[in-house]
Chains A and B, each alone.
Chain A
Amino acid sequence: MTDATAGGLAAPAFSTPKSSLLSQTALVRRRNAAETRFKAYGIAAIVLSLATLGFMLFTILTDGVSAFFQAKLSFPVELTAETLDPQGNRNRDEMAKVTTLGYNKVLAAAFAKEMTARGIAIDGQSDKDVTDMISKDAAGDLRAAVLANPQMVGTTIDATVLATGRIDGYLKGRVTMETAERDANVTPEQLQLADLLREAGILKSSFNWDFITSPDASDQRPEAAGLGVAILGSAYMMLLVLITCVPVGVAASIYLEEFAPKNVWTDAIEVNISNLAAVPSIVFGILGLAIFINFAGMPNSSSLVGALVLSLMTLPTIIIATRASIRAVPPSIRDAALGIGASKMQTVFHHVLPLAMPGILTGTILGLASALGETAPLLLIGMVAFVDNYPGSPPDGFLDPATALPVQVFGWAQRADPAFIERSSGAIIILLIFLVAMNVLAVLLRRRFERRW
């Protein structure tokens, strides 16, 4: 190299090649080796990150897939009028005085009766062993069904109720005879009974729609816990984030990009927007608590407050993405539009915005996806909570308490009962499905509408 520049034309540097081009010198070999090494580093990095991702997905799937299956007991239940309607007049208000304890007794009696009728029994079983196989959630469901239709009392219905979490765990291999001996919440007798019940066709494991639709349940009934409220809450929040963020974000970007004069003020705004995008999300939670709940008096734990906090967080992302895609529209388009007499606003809305749309959509969807996975800001506004009732239908439902998907993952991971670990992983699977769907949508939209110049 130095020879070539110093020598000039008069003395051709390569007039006497020292070696053939086909045989490699030490320097070339070293350079080639360095390149091979560098490629190897790159491949190693990719393999490492793929392996980590694969390992993570593998653990989540192995832990979580079982949450989508649930053991259930089916047996006929006679809704005895003496216990459930002591007055005998089928009056809902009077029947409401019978608590779930009464319904528990009815279920337990029916279950014991069915087991005797089918001849299912083992040595050393106690009454408690038998009745404790039915989930504590069953009585509440039965009570709600009976109160909704009081004429059911006196008839015999075919009930399908949840088995307790430990029996469910036995069917899934989480609970074994060995652990049952040490476990205070299940006895080996119950597991033997479970085997017999399974042979008799009373105990069956089936796909668990309730996991997706039911509300959360307390620590004593992991088998009944579901994601219904969380999915609804997340959906409400995403809708509200979309409604608040997109108009504000797009309008702000168009103004800053196309109309705003370039001066100190717009520079300051630009810097601040970029900074805002880097603020830790918990800070937005503190802000939300101070402004929306304490100052504006909006209801605690509601999806409206959650959505506003997430909007503050998503807005900078959307503004940055929108500005980038507006900037990517070539100036020639604007010049041509202006040249044939379009006003500035016509230029923006007829030409620039439609061309920038795919980028804006992608940015918005990615911003929403990151908002969907956010827990920290919701912690402070009371959405990390036990919420047992579905929020109402919009718009009033936006003010009802709700939770969100990542919050449910966080909440379940902290529970004492081991059955919640599978629920937590199951919730992660649902969350990942939503995130992947949103990202795929973003990619598809970009592919479909992207223009190249």
Chain B
Amino acid sequence: MSFMKSSASALAILALSATAGAARDQVQITGSSTVLPYSTIVAEAFGENFDFPSPVVEGGGSGAGRKKFCEGVGENTVDIANSSSRISKSDIELCTTNGVTEIMEVRFGYDGIVFASDVNGPEFAFTPAHIYGALGAQVAKDGALVANAAAAWNEVDAALPAQPILAFIPGTKHGTREVFDTKVIIAGCKETGAHDLFLAVAEGKDDKEKAGNADKACMELRTDGKSVDIDGDYTETLARIDADKTAIGVFGLSFYQNNTDKLRVATMNGVVPSAETIAAAEYPVSRPLYFYVKKAHIGVIPGLKEYVTFFLSDEIAGPDGPLAAYGLVSDPELAATQAMVEAETPMGPLE
């Protein structure tokens, strides 16, 4: 036992000496793996052009990143949380209880979500109704809900190619899945009339709860192997499509743009996904990208304000910058965000 004690005290001494010498001189960033490549591009350019060290950027997911961000204020907590969805009320409450009261919300652009298949396969022109008709667990047929039995795309719509249905969609832990569910599945559910049928049988105290339950029913996807959840990242989806050439995969626009030699992108409602069509709000499946900055750390962590300002500068986040070249859809209201950062305005309560 004495050795256990001595090893424990040795660790404690190490810990004390560690905290004594630790004055952090680099910005620490964590969060969404969708935002990660943008963050690393900026971090690298920041390290090259400033006398500050490059920020350390971690991935791991939006939700996990925001939780880490809300752990508290101080040098051993992160400065910035990247997020591919907006911060939630529960996150803000967690932040407040841990003393993170002033958060700056920075929206720096938009990301498109695209459907793509093997480059040598046929072309697809989708609508959300097609995707729902192919992947929903129950679909509307002659005014009644029936279990989905479609085996090929042309059974969903005669205009689509006669190719067996197989879709690789992001798993539920991904931020992308949320956008897929709301902008494609629920939209398609409403288009096909299935949502009304779900609503008619939905249980709930009031209309709002009923609508929520109908949405939930829409999000039930078929479980007979036609719709496959991918819990890994887009590289895994690409590898699966490579192995199974007839499959359709869901990707981020930037991932597709870096692999145009292997993938053929499908149109949605007749619109080809691109930075322009997303910025003009013509392409329906897109989402804003955010990062959240701990205001209490500005002035304490060297380079934090400079990094955020640099990130949002026109030469980086603007339409001709490296982020747009990588696939980010630049935010038309960038100037307002720049002014907000300059004034260090913390975000108000969520509506």
Contact of A220 among B7, B260, B325 (CB under 8 A): B325
Q: Is the CB of B56 within 8 A of A184?
A: no
> How distant is the Cα of A185 from the Cα of B315 in the complex, in angstroms?
20
Contact of A386 among B57, B76, B326 (CB under 8 A): B57
> How distant is the Cα of A179 from the Cα of B263 in the complex, in angstroms?
11
A101 interface residue per 8 A CB criterion = yes
Q: Across the interface, which residues of A come within 8 angstroms of B233, CB to CB?
A: 414
Name the interface residues of A4-27: CB closer than 8 Å to any CB of B: none
Q: Across the interface, which residues of A come within 8 angstroms of B51, CB to CB?
A: 96
Q: Across the interface, which residues of B come within 8 angstroms of A396, CB to CB?
A: 21
Q: Is the CB of B37 within 8 A of A308?
A: no
B176 interface residue per 8 A CB criterion = no
Known pairs A144-B48, A219-B41, A296-B19; list 17 more (Cβ under 8 Å): A96-B51, A175-B261, A179-B261, A185-B257, A252-B7, A296-B18, A382-B56, A388-B43, A388-B44, A388-B47, A388-B53, A389-B47, A389-B54, A401-B28, A414-B235, A416-B258, A418-B262
Interface residues on A, range: 35 or more
Q: Is the CB of B49 within 8 A of A100?
A: yes
> How distant is the Cα of A441 from the Cα of B14 in the complex, in angstroms?
30
B350 interface residue per 8 A CB criterion = no
Q: Is the CB of B235 within 8 A of A416?
A: yes
Q: Is the CB of A298 within 8 A of B19?
A: yes
What are the nearest 8 A-B pairs in CB distance?
A388-B54, A296-B15, A140-B48, A179-B261, A183-B261, A386-B57, A218-B40, A385-B58
Chain A 248-269, CB-CB to B under 8 Å as 1, else 0, gives 1001100100000000010000
Contact of A143 among B41, B48, B255 (CB under 8 A): B48
Which residues of B line the A interface, CB within 8 A?
Answer: 1-4, 7, 10-12, 14-16, 18-19, 21-22, 24, 26, 28, 30, 33, 36-37, 39-41, 43-45, 47-49, 51, 53-54, 56-60, 71, 75-76, 78, 119, 232-235, 254-255, 257-262, 315, 322, 325-326
Residue of B nearest to A418 (CB): B259
Q: Across the interface, which residues of B come within 8 angstroms of A301, CB to CB?
A: 28, 56, 58
> How distant is the Cα of A136 from the Cα of B48 in the complex, in angstroms?
11
A68 interface residue per 8 A CB criterion = no
Q: Is the CB of B3 within 8 A of A252?
A: yes
> How distant is the Cα of A308 from the Cα of B78 in the complex, in angstroms?
21
Q: Is the CB of B235 within 8 A of A415?
A: yes
Q: Is the CB of B78 within 8 A of A300?
A: yes
Contact of A399 among B16, B22, B44, B58 (CB under 8 A): B22
Q: Across the interface, which residues of A come within 8 angstroms of B75, CB to CB?
A: 299
> How distant is the Cα of A218 from the Cα of B59 in the complex, in angstroms?
13
Contact of A384 among B3, B59, B260, B262 (CB under 8 A): B59
